């Protein structure tokens, strides 16, 4: 019997565009995207994180691969493995959290000019998607490539970047 492979759905993409995404830099919680407030702390995250001009902020988790809920202890172990992999590669990273509609899970944020590292992490840890932020806007990226990147939304419509 063939193993079922999880894939991103339109419903998941729609949910992911309404997720509040926070990162913690220098002990300060920054809402890089909030469905009700837009990109409130996005510019501050780049400034406080010391990101070079050409870099993007990537946010990913190792929790619940394939969008299937697992025990917290198993998720924590996967997240620790992801952090270890980043540390061994010399990548500086920050804690993050995504939350929406009564759900939340921790993640990891880091700066990089390219998508290669985050795409490899998504594959390695069975993630269906991740977030990409420039200094002015954010997108949810389907790791499987079935959907184009979706701009983060608020209140049922696109949120201003100002």
**Tens digits of residue pLDDT in 48-70:** 999 999 999 999 999 999 988 89
Query: How would you label 36-65 residue by residue, b for 16+ Cβ within 10 Å and e otherwise?
Result: eebbebbeebbeebebeeebbbbbbbbbbb
Residues in the chain: 162
Question: What percentage of the chain has pLDDT greater than the value 70?
Answer: 91
pLDDT tens digit sequence for 124-154: 999 999 999 999 999 999 999 999 999 997 6
Name, in order, each residue with C-beta under 8 angstroms of 144's C-beta and a sequence gap of 6 or more. Answer: 7, 8, 128
pLDDT tier for residue 155 given thresholds of 50, 70 and 90: low
How high is the mean pLDDT of the chain?
Answer: 90
Question: How would you class 98 by CB atoms within 10 Å of its CB: exposed for 0-12, middle for 13-18, buried for 19 or more?
Answer: buried
For the record, the structure tokens of 7 come out as 């894939």
pLDDT at 159: 39
What are the distances in angstroms from CA 155 to CA 131, 135, 149?
A: 19, 21, 19
pLDDT at 160: 38
pLDDT tier for residue 101 given thresholds of 50, 70 and 90: confident
pLDDT tier for residue 6 given thresholds of 50, 70 and 90: confident
């Amino acid at each position: 019997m063939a193993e079922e492979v999880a894939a991103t759905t339109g419903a998941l993409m729609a949910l992911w565009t309404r997720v509040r995404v926070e990162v913690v830099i220098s002990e300060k919680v920054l809402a890089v995207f909030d469905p009700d407030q837009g990109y409130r702390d996005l510019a501050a995250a780049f400034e406080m994180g010391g990101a070079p001009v050409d870099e993007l902020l990537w946010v990913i988790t190792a929790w619940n691969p394939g969008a299937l809920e697992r025990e917290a202890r198993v998720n924590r172990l996967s997240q620790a493995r992801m952090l270890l992999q980043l540390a061994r590669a010399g990548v500086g990273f920050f804690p993050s959290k995504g939350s929406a509609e009564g759900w939340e899970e921790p993640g990891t944020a880091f700066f990089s000019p390219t998508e290669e590292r985050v795409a490899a992490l998504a594959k390695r840890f069975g993630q269906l998607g991740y977030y990409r932020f420039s200094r002015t806007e954010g997108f949810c990226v389907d790791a499987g490539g079935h959907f184009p990147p979706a701009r983060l939304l608020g209140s049922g419509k696109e949120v201003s970047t100002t």
